[in-house]
Chain A
Amino acid sequence: GAVVSQHPSWVICKSGTSVKIECRSLDFQATTMFWYRQFPKQSLMLMATSNEGSKATYEQGVEKDKFLINHASLTLSTLTVTSAHPEDSSFYICSAGTSGGVWETQYFGPGTRLLVL
């Protein structure tokens, strides 16, 4: 149980295009979903937290107009990288939780590797 999927697992796009990444909780309802970015040999950095039906909360330094997050249902959140540029190339990981409590377990997706040419 507690499986989180991400689609696509790999995406290559041209500079200036937009890319949408989906994060789904397959066997549970996710009240809260988190989006992380991981650069090579670096730690996971939280980008934003989203709660179903409300606007995402972005971390300092993350452009909300560039990284659009939609949490339309309790099983789906999407991250859209708008007008992607090479510096946006990274590994994007989502996670999902059921209550948002700091002590609860977050279930992570397998990640999406984005390469912007």
Chain B
Amino acid sequence: AQSVTQLGSHVSVSEGALVLLRCNYSSSVPPYLFWYVQYPNQGLQLLLKYTSAATLVKGINGFEAEFKKSETSFHLTKPSAHMSDAAEYFCAVSATDKLIFGTGTRLQVFP
């Protein structure tokens, strides 16, 4: 069975600071991993995905994530936070034909 754990339901950073959102996964087979973002009153939007190619995955809006098998992690980072990054972020894993989502992390960005 697959699962994901997102550590920290809320993360607050100052504008310009590093963003780090944590995600650890559990999977009995090589996983596909995703990060989605949900802005208020909008649907989920794909930020990036790992599909067993390069372990460092670059996504939209300056986000990237690194797949670390030894740590079973897929943390999301952005070097410099922007006010517009404030949203809910979901990590998801898929090893069969469906996505399993984490509980989400709400990112707040302060000026």
- Report how far A75 CA is from B94 CA in the complex, Å: 24
Residue in B32, B36, B99 whose CB lies within 8 Å of A46: B99
Interface residues of A (CB under 8 A from B): 4, 6, 34, 41-46, 49, 93, 95, 100, 102-103, 105-111
Q: Is the CB of B14 closer than 8 A to any CB of chain A?
A: no
Q: Given that A43-B90, A44-B90 are contacting pairs, would A4 and B99 also be in contact in the complex, using a CB cutoff of 8 Å?
A: no
| A contact residues around B104 at 8 Å (CB) | 43
Q: Given that A41-B9, A109-B43 are contacting pairs, would A102 and B94 also be in contact in the complex, using a CB cutoff of 8 Å?
A: yes
Residue in B41, B95, B101 whose CB lies within 8 Å of A102: B95
The residue on A at minimum CB distance from B92 is: A44
**Cβ A102 vs Cβ B97 within 8 A:** yes
The residue on A at minimum CB distance from B4 is: A43
| A contact residues around B103 at 8 Å (CB) | 41-43
Q: Is the interface of B mostly helix, strand, loop or mixed?
A: loop
Q: Is the CB of B42 closer than 8 A to any CB of chain A?
A: yes
| B contact residues around A95 at 8 Å (CB) | 43-44
- Report how far A106 CA is from B90 CA in the complex, Å: 13
**Cβ A102 vs Cβ B32 within 8 A:** yes
**Cβ A108 vs Cβ B43 within 8 A:** yes
Interface residues in B41-63 (C-beta closer than 8 Å to A): 41-46, 49, 51
Q: Given that A93-B44, A108-B44, A109-B43 are contacting pairs, would A100 and B99 also be in contact in the complex, using a CB cutoff of 8 Å?
A: no
Nearest chain A CB to B102's CB is how many angstroms away?
6
**Cβ A111 vs Cβ B43 within 8 A:** yes
| B contact residues around A102 at 8 Å (CB) | 32, 94-98
- Report how far A106 CA is from B42 CA in the complex, Å: 15
The residue on B at minimum CB distance from A49 is: B98
**Cβ A108 vs Cβ B32 within 8 A:** no
Nearest chain B CB to A90's CB is how many angstroms away?
15
Nearest chain B CB to A6's CB is how many angstroms away?
8
Residue in A93, A105, A109, A110 whose CB lies within 8 Å of B46: A105
Nearest chain B CB to A114's CB is how many angstroms away?
15
Nearest chain A CB to B85's CB is how many angstroms away?
19
